[in-house]
Amino acid sequence: MADAVMTVPETVFEGQELPEHICGPIDRTILALFAGASHDHVKLHIDSDFAKGAGMDDVFAHGMLVMAYLGQFLTRWRPQQNIRKWSTRFVAITPVHATIHCRGRIAEIIEQDGERLARVKLGAWTDKDVQTVDGEALVALG
């Protein structure tokens, strides 16, 4: 046994913090690429003249870019096919140049339809510690 590599099953418990996922800083190139790749051409995110004309300080990130980062946060923890459902609220604008910290913790472990699921409270914060997205996911523990 001395040299055997033991596979220790991952312990999952209520209150557990999931590994943080840090993305960015979100520069203007990322916003341009994301606009093209995501089909979201709202000019507030890619044209600073337009954004200023609309009364904003500058362009700001697509909410769905930050939600995509939160998706990565989840799929780094469990495979995508384990995500049953999730929802987010965009609670503040994510400014250009922000670095995004995706964080979450297991709020509850439940049984539903014969499946063991984690209810994960998750969110995104800028490097200035402003929360921009608040959400919740239901993920099968398998």
Question: Rule CB under 8 A: which residues touch another protein?
Answer: 23, 30, 33-34, 36-44, 50, 53-55, 62-65, 67-69, 71-72, 74-76, 80-81, 83-90
Cβ distance to another protein smaller for residue 56 or 109: 56
83/109 with CB nearer another protein: 83
CB of 29 to another protein, least distance (A): 9
| Least distance CB 41 / another protein (angstroms) | 8
Rounded least distance, CB 24 to another protein, Å: 8
Best CA proximity match to 72, nearest among 44, 39, 104, 97? 104
Q: How far apart are CA 97 and CA 7, in angstroms?
A: 41
Contact (CB, 8 A) for 7 and 136? no
For residues 14 and 25, which CB has a smaller minimum distance to another protein in the complex? 25
Q: Rounded to an integer, what distance in angstroms lies between the CA atom of residue 5 and that of residue 22?
A: 31
Find all residues with CB under 8 Å of 39, minimum gap 6, and list them: none
